[in-house]
Amino acid sequence: MTVSETRLRADAQRNRDQIVAAAREVFAALGPDVPMEEIARAAGVGVGTLYRRFPDREALILAVARESFAQVLAAARAALAEEPTAWDALLRLVGRTHPLQASVQLALVSERAREALKDDPETGQFRDALLVELDRIVRAGQDEGTVRGDIGSGDVALLFSLVLRQPPVLHDPALYAFERATALMLDGLRARPATPLPGRPITGEDIRIR
């Protein structure tokens, strides 16, 4: 391979990485239906370059979903292995806001994205593995007495999906809307005397895409 060919491949990979990173941010903020031109602009590339890498929106959604789930899965495993308690692991996982938000938007919030992802085996494997890790964190937290015992990993995933949706536009950054909502959510997951929940714990199996 010549130096010129190597440079072209490196440029192509860099463009692809920029597009996926920009799409993840835009999808997390606005959902996957934003104009492709806006994603190209955020990535700093031309629309033609975007379409050469991703011929349609579904191909871009797949790329973002796979990368986002892979990042969150790695973060969940590392958190459970490295943090002193399962509660600390949960707090650390919540801190992975951008890939986590993109994953939630694509897997739980957007109907269009769910249609694009439902038949993709790679995305399904990442999603199922992530639910397994989340279940491990929840069960470990319940065993150590830090997570309330009447919930399942599906409850946590659904709460994430609600909190990670974009709130109304707030012009004062000092309001810390996302941080406040996250703190309230985590406070509701803590083990202590609390309001009994109706029904049964929601599991990861309950929220899997069928």
pLDDT tens across 150-161, in order?
999 999 988 887
Q: Is the dihedral of CA 169, 172, 175, 178 positive or negative?
A: positive
Name every residue whose Cβ is closer than 8 Å to that of residue 6 and which is 6 or more positions away in sequence: none
Q: Which of 11-25, 102-116, 161-175 comes out lowest in average pLDDT? A: 161-175
Please tell me the distance from the alpha carbon of residue 209 to that of residue 202, in angstroms, as a whole number.
14
pLDDT tens across 136-175, in order?
999 999 999 999 999 999 999 888 878 776 555 556 666 6
Report which of residues 9 and 136 the model is more confident about.
136
Please tell me the distance from the alpha carbon of residue 141 to that of residue 151, in angstroms, as a whole number.
11
In this prediction, residues 58-68 reach a mean pLDDT of 89
pLDDT score at 40: 95
Please tell me the distance from the alpha carbon of residue 129 to that of residue 107, in angstroms, as a whole number.
14
Report which of residues 109 and 20 the model is more confident about.
20
Averaging pLDDT over each range in 87-101, 108-122, 134-148, 158-172, which range is the top one? 134-148
- Return the domain boundaries, the chain: 64-207
117 residue type, one letter:
L
Topology of the domain comprising 64-207: Tetracycline Repressor; domain 2 (1.10.357)
pLDDT score at 59: 92
In this prediction, residues 39-44 reach a mean pLDDT of 95
Whether the model pTM is above 0.85 = no
What DSSP state is assigned to residue 166? P
Question: Helix (H, G, I), strand (E, B), or coil: what is residue 147?
Answer: strand
Across 51-90, b (16+ Cβ under 10 Å) vs e yields eebbeebbebbbbbbbbbbbbbbebbbebbeebeebbebb
pLDDT tens across 182-194, in order?
888 999 999 987 7
In this prediction, residues 19-32 reach a mean pLDDT of 87
In this prediction, residues 104-110 reach a mean pLDDT of 66
Q: Of all residues in the chain, what percent carry a pLDDT higher than 90?
A: 42
Q: Quick one: which of 191, 178, 153, 142 has its CA closest to 76?
A: 153
Name every residue whose Cβ is closer than 8 Å to that of residue 29 and which is 6 or more positions away in sequence: 166
Averaging pLDDT over each range in 26-35, 77-86, 153-162, which range is the top one? 77-86
Helix axis angle, 86-94 relative to 121-144, nearest 10°? 140
Please tell me the distance from the alpha carbon of residue 32 to that of residue 173, in angstroms, as a whole number.
25
